Chain A
Amino acid sequence: MLLMFILTASTFAILEQQRERLLQIAIDNAKDDIQFIKSTLSSTLQQNNFEQLGGLVETWGRHVRYTHELKITAANGFVLGHFQRDTPADRPHRLEEKIRYSYQGLASLVFVKDFGSVDDSINKLRWQLMSGLLLVGLVFWRMSWLSLHRKREAMMLDRANHRLQQTAEQLEATRAYLRNVFDSMPSTLVAVDAEANVTMWNKGAEKASAMTASEVQGRSFSEALPVFASRMRELKEAIESGKPTRIERHVTRMDGTPRFSEIVIYPLSTDKNRGAVIRIDDVTQRIQMEQMMVQTEKMMTVGGLAAGMAHEINNPLSGVLQSSQNIMRRLSSDLPASTATAKELGLDLAVMHEFLERRGILGFLEGIREAAERAGRIVADMLAFSRRSTTEFSPLSINELLDTVVRIAASDYDLKKTYDFKKITIIREYQSDLPAVPCDRTEIEQVLLNLIKNAAHAMAGQADRTQQQIVLRTRKEVDWVRIEVEDNGPGMSEEVQRRVFEPFFTTKPIGLGTGLGMSVSYYIITEQHKGTISVDSMLGKGSRFVIRLPYR
């Protein structure tokens, strides 16, 4: 802008200077012109060619630059030739010459130039220059504006770019986060479009179907997860209706055993993306747990019934038992009351005894007593079992517990009769300075008893019962106490090992055992006591159960 101003000012100054110069030049030219005209007119006049003057004046007037008026007047005032422009002169410059044309006269040649044209020229030049400068100025200004604008634009673009980048990054981060959330869900998450074709597929789904996201992209849900293909109807209905749908128990079979899945369909409600998100969770364990709890409830109910029954039975039972014991005692010759009474009656007790024995009465009496005792024991056992008290933790010695359990097992009528527990050698390998483990006595006893009983049961089936043994080991490890129950029985196959802790899984014939023992033991050790229980077995060699219980 300043440059422009300076340029304009200097141009004007130059032009003004030029004007003076131009004017001077024009004046000089005019002088030359008039001299030329004068000489021509002079010769014309000298030839007395008055006729031509008019034409000459006209011609020159028209063609000589800046001529406003050209007039040749005779000495007496007679106008011999006259040319004048119609428009008034802006800047008249008068030149006059005298021409001798006759003895008497000097013709007067008046030459009026209009240097207004010079002004005009200067003005025109000035305008031209100004417009030129203006143009240049405009160009410069535009260029500078453009560069500034461009700079600003560039800056704005930069900022916009930066913002865009940030947004993109945020978007990416959000997407990654969402993806992470999506993937980190342990459930199988599948997003489908309105046609039930897969649009999103999380890690859980990949694991469940053994197909990657890229493989299933765009394929039908039924194709991606054939095990749930039967649910396509519900899926399509849910998408259509927009109502979330829950299928609580979808049964599939894997390796012959049933697996349960919970399918929840959440339809997407936006107009743009119709479709749904499907969550599938494997609830087999939960279902089994529920079933187990139901069973437990049943059992508790039964237990309750049993307890009630037991109490009712105990009364007559104790009567039977007492009576039978009394009978036995009074029949023997030990009691003085009995001998006195016999003497009184003249009864020979020995003969009576002989009679009773020969007739088997004593045998029957013994049988009654034993039966009553056995019934009582069964009742007692049942009562003990049904007495479900809340878990009470107290620091206990595992070694002690093991000994107690062995004792219980030994007196177990079942074992005595059927499995002859006494025949089995119990080997104890206890660590002496075992720390006390906080645990529930009843529950741990239950577990250990279960293991020992199972071992005995397993070995009972073997033909050769001579070398049978159960080894009981305790060891202190870093954070826990290690308990081992090892037998040299028939052992378990791989498959059985895998399923040993499964609820309702049993190798015993139907009717004997519910298959709950190991699963309950598992539950007690892992859930209640935060320990671990595992089995290690080899067919033909034996089995070893390892329990770890934390002692801190």
Chain B
Amino acid sequence: MPRLLQRSFCSFLLLASFYWATLSAAEKADRPIVLAVHPYLPYQELQKRYQPLASYLKRVLGTKVVVRIGRDYSEHIAHIGTDRVDIAYLGPATYVRMVDKYGQKPLLARLEVGGKPFFHGYLVTRSGSGVGAIENLREKRFAFGDPASTMSHLVPRHMLLEAGLDVDDLADYQFLGSHKNVALAVLSGAFDAGAVKEEVMESFKSRGLRSFAKSAPYSEHIFVARSDADDEFVVTVKKALFGLAETAEGRGILRSIKQGVTGLVPVEDAHYDNLRSVLKSLSAHGVE
């Protein structure tokens, strides 16, 4: 079958380039490759999730790959920004900020979740709360997630602003840290509404969570390389990441990062332009 042949040929090519990459990477064998991940989950959890990828990259690159979890978002940004890590995994907003502060980096790949390399944010409430639209949020208690979070703060905040609302119009607003927390808070009635990402919204639907507003699509999480990474490295890693969806093992590695991840796909900076403008708009309003 030609497709298989194609795939096999691709794999063969991949392998060939890997070896070549390995040979060149061998020169830098003394220092391990650092894969930095932002602390969006507990440390152990993140290590567990990203270790398969690290092992895979080690095989590919022929050098040990360590997973480094950032202390916080700003530190994470600073590390990749100042090229202290080799590869970084960033959320969309984090990426934008990072680039804004430190300049462009070689882009490696972005997540493809459920077949889509973008996602939406949702404004949610519990069923029967009486909140049907953003406009209803006036004098309501609203729950955000992490201030730096794209979907649990920045985008929703922008949505509110677009709707002519700001946090002052809310009876109360809190940053609850995580999407899940937001969902629970909303469900428990502590807050009337909140902002969560799509997957969280989906998972809490059965427990009574309802969405009443949906955001525009924003590009998914991204893998970048340090700015002084050589092309060879970048190409190798890109190819490696793109190839994960091809194999069962690769798909396993992807799922390990996040359930629902179907692949790592090419990415361009332009994919984040809409987010960039949102952030600009927010910062104009004083939201950082």
Contacts and interface: CB of A to CB of B under 8 A. Distances in A.
A48 B185 contact: yes
Interface stretch (A70-78, A370-378, A421-429): A70-78
Interface string B23-46: 000000000000000000000000
Contact of A78 (B177, B181, B188): B188
Q: How large is the interface on A (under 10, 10 to 19, 20 to 34, 35 or more residues)?
A: 10 to 19
A45 B172 CA distance: 16
Contacts of A101: 188, 190
A75 B189 contact: yes
A341 interface: no
A80 interface: yes
B185 A50 contact: yes
Given A76-B126, A78-B208, A80-B184, A51 B189 contact: no
A71 to B, nearest CB: 13
A26 to B, nearest CB: 31
Interface in A67-116: 74-76, 78, 80, 101-105, 107
Interface in B117-154: 126, 141, 143
A51 B180 contact: yes
Contacts of B185: 48, 50
A74 B178 contact: no
Which of B172, B177, B187, B190 has most A Cβ within 10 Å? Answer: B190
A51 B181 CA distance: 5
A48 B181 contact: yes
Q: How large is the interface on B (under 10, 10 to 19, 20 to 34, 35 or more residues)?
A: 10 to 19
B189 A50 contact: no
B181 A74 contact: no
Interface in B162-197: 172, 174, 176-178, 180-181, 184-185, 187-191
Interface in A12-71: 45, 48-51, 53
Which of B187, B191, B208 has most A Cβ within 10 Å? Answer: B187
Contacts of A102: 141, 189-191
A44 to B, nearest CB: 11
A105 B190 CA distance: 7
Nearest to B189: A76
A53 B181 CA distance: 10
B188 A74 contact: yes
Contact of A80 (B141, B143, B174, B188): B188
Contacts of B189: 74-76, 78, 102, 104-105
A48 B126 contact: no
Nearest to B187: A78
A104 B190 CA distance: 8
Which of B180, B181, B185 has most A Cβ within 10 Å? Answer: B185
B39 to A, nearest CB: 15
Contacts of A104: 189
Contacts of B174: 48
Nearest to A77: B189
A107 B184 CA distance: 13
A41 to B, nearest CB: 12
A80 B185 CA distance: 9
A53 to B, nearest CB: 7
Given A48-B176, A48-B181, 9 more contacts: A45-B190, A48-B143, A48-B174, A49-B181, A51-B180, A76-B126, A76-B188, A78-B188, A102-B189
26 contacts: A48-B174, A48-B185, A48-B190, A49-B176, A49-B181, A50-B176, A50-B184, A50-B185, A50-B188, A50-B190, A51-B177, A51-B178, A51-B180, A51-B181, A74-B188, A76-B188, A80-B188, A101-B188, A101-B190, A102-B189, A102-B190, A102-B191, A103-B172, A105-B188, A105-B190, A107-B188
